[in-house]
Structure 1
């Protein structure tokens, strides 16, 4: 089974507002995290297409360089509205929406989650803390009601999504704070985020 994966991405000026790292400019950091997430998703064997919903020109330009990923305009209805717009535009029956702030994501972890989701009409993967959602899936076309945000895992379960419990640490580690970035670093960051943080360390050491 191949999946359409939708990734809504905020503008780099507004994204990662709580993520402050010495020597790193937040918009560039948000861009690196998003593009590493998108590239990892596109590399997964179970993913047939990646649709990135965004109004950010830098994200759109980066997506053009990633094979298997396409950007579509953000309709301006918030994170869940963007996810819904992408899900409705997807071309494959099996559809998933995923957060764009998973800088340690490996395609193999996304593959494991999507293969587990094949056995459920609706499913979700929670974040490391267990309260948020990083991936929500529908095996067949449906009325899409993504509920990303605070306590979204519980809301998705209430909406009929089965909580998947596979060990997929790089998928579950979303990043909003410096502490979470340190945890993602231990898992192994994507190349863009790694390069940006290395440059930031060099600037602060100079």
Structure 2
């Protein structure tokens, strides 16, 4: 399957986490470093999941493009319409241009406790549903109200409906909920409380370094 991850400009991303990386000061570079660390840990898990064939990041932030490009990760700029769902749509369209028959997935960029096996199990569960005739599937967040992962079967539009209350919107639009013990996949990070819960699960190395404020880590 092919996967798209959208990323806001680092200076604007994760605004409710501002100050989490530097004891509440909210220094812009420390905040940007934390936002990038969340992304890097998410991407590391994606790249280690054997079920993912191709990863595309959608972002117009030059720092994101430069840092990820070093690791051979494809980064496409945002399209003319701003916003999270248009970024997912753009990424899915680009992936389908490569392979119209691909299963396409949309993953949030703030899953620092994600494990490759969790992602792989969720993908396999979705593939099983698609084989039985389902067209779209999703994973809800830890609260059960948002969405961390959305997948579309071959030839089916992704139709992302991310945002507050997205789990219900995705289900009402016909997407099937995927139920599994995947704590890292469920735990996206928007607030300091979310970050503490992710830390209890076990953060990836990049987020751990960003929170420890270790130079060059």
* Structure 1 gap ranges (5+): none
- How do 1:1-206 residues align onto structure 2 when only pairs under 5 Å count? 3-19=1-17, 20-21=19-20, 23=22, 25-67=30-72, 69-75=73-79, 76-90=81-95, 91-92=98-99, 93-120=102-129, 121-199=135-213
CA distance in 2 between counterparts of 1:142 and 1:22 reads 40
Q: Could you tell me how far 1:115 is from its partner in structure 2?
A: 0.4
TM-score normalised by L of structure 2: 0.87
- Normalising to structure 1: TM-score of the pair? 0.91
2:70, 2:144 → 1: CA distance?
33
CA distance in 2, matches of 1:26, 1:59: 14
How far apart, CA to CA, are the structure 2 residues paired with 1:22 and 1:138?
35
CA–CA distance in 1 between the matches of 2:157 and 2:192? Answer: 36
User: Distance in 1 between the 2:137 and 2:121 partners?
Assistant: 13
Q: CA RMSD in A?
A: 1.5
Using the TM superposition, name which of 22-31 and 110-119 deviates more.
22-31
Aligned residues: 198
CA offset at residue 143 of structure 1? Answer: 2.5
Q: Counterparts of 1:22 and 1:108 in 2: how far apart (Å)? A: 28
Partner SS, residue 45 of structure 1: coil
Deviations 1:121-154 (A, max 9, x none): 2100000000000000012122231011000000
Q: 4+ runs of 1 displaced by more than 3 Å?
A: none
Structure 2 residue ranges without an equivalent (≥5): 24-29, 130-134
Q: Deviations over 1:58-91 (max 9, x none)?
A: 1112222335x31111114210000000001113
Whose strand fraction is larger, Structure 1's or Structure 2's? 1
1:22 Cα deviation (Å)?
Answer: 5.2
User: Per-residue CA shift, 1:134-188, capped at 9, x if unaligned?
Assistant: 0000121222310110000000001110001111111110001111101101111
